[in-house]
Chain A
């Protein structure tokens, strides 16, 4: 296998890994703050992609053609819609059942995800079909040997990395982040220190969901196609990645996301059997790793929560 082919695999895996990491970071944020699993997160990703697509459709119908304007509108619309959606899920679905057993939260969010998915299918015009997502980034690129490096992929990767870094900064450096970490460590104490618990939860959900929106837009721009059911597998993979890395740990989510993408790529490329089994292989390895390290690769003890 030549170096250019390997470079191509690395690039493919990196793109997948970035999407998984962005989704996994959301899972980990929610778990860190509230100790809950938000199972509709994957469908929030799909909703983000469709919100972006809707903005594009409306603006092009209104005669806007500048790619930069369209791109900005797509990203902002996706982020605004999903941030709101995340806050609504937190306020009306998660917080009311917070006192109930954890299983209830898991169940209600799972159902909320199905409702969201079916709404996309039924109410988005032509939503049951795969939809063409516009290519808004420059599609040219370089051919380095057999390796085809495209500008749009580079831009997507870099912006994804910046976004994760930005989230990290917010959590470690800002007053809001301090409040999030305080709530994550000890809700009661945080409350007595005057932190508005509900506000922190809503903002965290908005933040995590906005990251998911970005993952949705990356997905759309990368594949030039979005589908109402795209969030289902993304959600499961994002969740697996978060667990794999160590739920509640930001770095763990990133590591988990990229590791899962690497496993899928290896499953499709390096193994002798049909590539249809790549998910079987990747999830199988996740099960194995979880048996070896139940608290994840970067366990909670090794680092501070969130």
Chain B
């Protein structure tokens, strides 16, 4: 009996080691203010790898190399260099923060490392270069803000003030939202660019309050979004809080408590349970017992890892061949819906979902009591 067990173990370990181990990098913010989303993304990419390995059909044994970009460009470039210069890493699932994704494209190109961005929404990441290595599964802020602006003007918001951070991410949001909102007949009455780690917004908000806007558009990420919303209340500024994909996470609600109620935000894709493969994804995710939820962009990280492993299974662990293979991705089924990369590596079919905070949860607009008319947004809209 003992001998049989030993033999079994020997056979098992032989069959495991017979497969070539292929390493894929995951890069995202694992510490700092945006780490909740980063950890959700990491877990989701990890889930894709675990399921592929457990499945046993692949020729390769996959290993996920997890790197922390801290949502800072300098740390991001360091990690990109680390992944790029390590020849055992053949591809990467990279970045949630747009500033970081933007800072690292040159590095990936230089090392010819094929990457798929899983969360950053700045258009320039794919569109401002011709690097064949850079791809993205999620949509861009152009689509997101078009829907946002249209929604706001349809609900009857006419005068909107803007606070955005002065990173590429915040500036991009400001640009596209203002453009689409004015086209829809709305009016931007004030615009404030602020630093991404600013603590006090009372001066800006006081000035905004004096102009009496119906809504405040916030283009930035959770940490300062929380501060802006909290300080609006301190100053008695009664305007609808209208955010971006950067605040759709549980931390935003946790840090604000009841104040989060009624906040709006827009995001590419749909909530995990509504995605084509979402239910199965969540089931598998929960089975693994991760300590954090997948968060908004987890499914995208999962889909990106899947795409890479499909390519590697097909053409082998060779960076150049993977890049060539990814160029052929058209109408590919994934848990986030069909994926088609255009010639900039950008997925062209991202649906936008509208969200509102209701009773401490991000709820899709269609299912909310706000849409049903049972509750009203700020200023009775």
A: residues with CB less than 8 A from B are: 1-2, 5, 8-9, 12-13, 15-16, 121, 128-132, 141, 143, 146, 148, 150, 153, 222-225, 227, 229-230, 233, 264-265, 268-269, 274-276, 278-279
Interface residues of B: mostly helix, strand, loop or mixed?
helix
Contact A143 B35 (CB under 8 A): no
Q: Which of B173-224 contact A (CB under 8 A)?
A: 192-195, 197-200, 202-204, 206-207, 209-210, 222-223
B32 touches A128 (CB 8 A): yes
Which of A2, A130, A132 sits near B210, CB closer than 8 Å?
Answer: A2
Residues of B within 8 A of A150 (CB): 234
Most buried by A among B203, B207, B226, B235: B203
Contacts of A148 in B (CB 8 A): 234-236
- Top-4 shortest CB links A-B: A148-B236, A268-B203, A12-B202, A274-B193
When the two chains form their complex, are residues B203 and A269 in contact, meaning their CB atoms are under 8 A apart? yes
B192 touching A275, Cβ below 8 Å: yes
B212: nearest residue on chain A (CB-CB)?
A: A146
Interface residue from A130, A132, A264, A265 paired with B33 (Cβ < 8 Å): A130
CB distance A129 to B203 under 8 Å? Answer: no
Known contacts A129-B36, A275-B204; is-contact A146 B209 (Cβ 8 Å)? yes
18 contacts between A and B (CB under 8 A): A2-B210, A5-B207, A12-B200, A121-B31, A129-B36, A132-B254, A132-B255, A146-B209, A148-B236, A223-B227, A223-B231, A229-B197, A230-B199, A233-B199, A264-B200, A264-B203, A276-B166, A276-B194
B234 with A275: CB separation less than 8 A = no
B192 to chain A, nearest CB (A): 5
Fill in one digit per residue for B18-52: 1 if any A CB lies within 8 Å of its CB, else 0: 00000000000001110110000000000000000
Q: Is the CB of B255 within 8 A of A130?
A: yes
- Pairwise interchain contact B203-A141, C-beta atoms closer than 8 A: no
Chain A: CB-nearest residue to B195: A276
Contact assessment for B203 and A227 in the assembled complex, using a CB-CB cutoff below 8 Å: no
Residue from A8, A15, A153 whose CB has the most chain B CB atoms within 10 Å: A8
A128 close to B31 (CB less than 8 A) = yes
Q: How far is the CB of B207 from chain A (nearest CB, A)?
A: 6
Q: Which of B242-280 contact A (CB under 8 A)?
A: 251, 254-257
What 0/1 readout, one digit per residue, does chain B (289-324) give for beta carbons within 8 Å of chain A? 000000000000000000000000000000000000
CB pair B206–A143 under 8 Å, yes or no, is no
- How many angstroms from the CA of A129 to the CA of B35 in the assembled complex? 8
Q: How many whole Å from A12's CB to the nearest CB in chain B? A: 4
Contact A141 B33 (CB under 8 A): no
Judge whether B206 and A8 touch: CB under 8 Å.
yes
Q: With A and B bound together, what is the CA distance between A206 and B231 in angstroms?
A: 32
Which residues of chain B are near A1, meaning CB under 8 Å? 210
User: Which residues on the B side are within 8 Å of A131 (C-beta)?
Assistant: 255
Q: How far is the CA of A37 from the CA of B67 in the complex (A)?
A: 37
A12 and B254 alpha carbons, distance in the complex (Å): 26
Which residue of A has the minimal Cβ distance to B70? A128
Collect the chain A residues with CB atoms within 8 Å of residue B282's CB: none
**Contact residues in B for A130 (Cβ distance below 8 Å):** 33, 222-223, 226-227, 251, 255
Asked, given contacts A128-B32, A132-B256, A233-B199, whether A225 binds B236 with beta carbons under 8 Å apart, the answer is no
Cβ contacts under 8 Å, B166 to chain A: 274, 276
Q: What's the Cα separation between A16 and B236 when bound, in Å?
A: 18
| A146→B212 CA distance, assembly (Å) | 10
Task: State which residues 80-137 of B face A: CB under 8 Å.
Answer: none
Contact B203 A278 (CB under 8 A): yes
Cβ of A143: which chain B residues have Cβ within 8 Å of it?
236
Specify which chain B residues have a CB less than 8 angstroms from the CB of A269 in the assembled complex. Answer: 203, 206-207
Cβ contact within 8 Å between B230 and A223: yes
Contact of A12 among B203, B251, B256, B257 (CB under 8 A): B203
A130-B226, A275-B193 are known contacts; what are 18 more A-B pairs with Cβ within 8 Å?
A5-B207, A8-B209, A8-B235, A9-B203, A15-B202, A129-B255, A130-B227, A146-B209, A148-B234, A223-B199, A225-B226, A225-B227, A233-B197, A233-B199, A274-B193, A276-B193, A276-B195, A278-B203
Across the interface, which residues of A come within 8 angstroms of B234, CB to CB?
A: 148, 150, 153, 222
0/1 interface trace, chain B 148-178, chain A, CB 8 Å (1 if under): 0000000000000000001000000000000
The CA of A222 and the CA of B36, in the complex, are separated in Å by 25
Minimal beta-carbon separation of A276 from chain B (angstroms) = 5
CA distance A146 to B237 in the complex (A): 10
Q: How far is the CA of A129 from the CA of B37 in the complex (A)?
A: 12
Chain A residues positioned under 8 Å from B32 (CB to CB): 128
B293 to chain A, nearest CB (A): 14
A129 engages B251 (CB within 8 Å): yes
Roughly how many angstroms separate A275 CA and B200 CA in the complex, as a whole number?
11
B79 to chain A, nearest CB (A): 17
Of the listed residues A129, A150, A225, A227, the one surrounded by the most CB atoms of chain B closer than 10 A to its CB is A129
| B203 contacts A128, C-beta separation under 8 Å | no
A146 touches B210 (CB 8 A): yes
Give chain B residues whose Cβ lies under 8 Å from the Cβ of A265. 203
Output the least CB separation between A245 and chain B (Å). 21
Residues in A neighbouring B198, C-beta threshold 8 A:
276
- Residues of chain A within 8 A (CB-CB) of B236 are 141, 143, 148
- CB of B55, distance to nearest CB on chain A (Å): 34
Does B199 contact A12, Cβ atoms closer than 8 Å? no
Task: Pick the most buried of B194, B200, B254: most chain A CB atoms within 10 A of its CB.
Answer: B200
- Asked whether A132 and B223 contact (CB < 8 A) given A224-B230, A276-B195, the answer is no
Neighbouring A residues of B197 by C-beta, 8 Å: 229, 233
The CA of A229 and the CA of B195, in the complex, are separated in Å by 15
Query: Chain B residues near A268 (CB, 8 Å)?
Result: 203-204, 207
Q: Write the chain A residue with the least CB distance to B32.
A: A128
Q: Which residues of B contact A264 (CB under 8 A)?
A: 200, 203
In Å, the complex CA distance between A222 and B199 comes to 11
Residues of chain B from 331 to 377 with CB closer than 8 A to chain A in the complex: none
Q: Distance in Å from the Cβ of B159 to the closest Cβ of chain A?
A: 16
What residues on A are CB-neighbors of B203 within 8 Å?
Answer: 9, 12-13, 264-265, 268-269, 275, 278
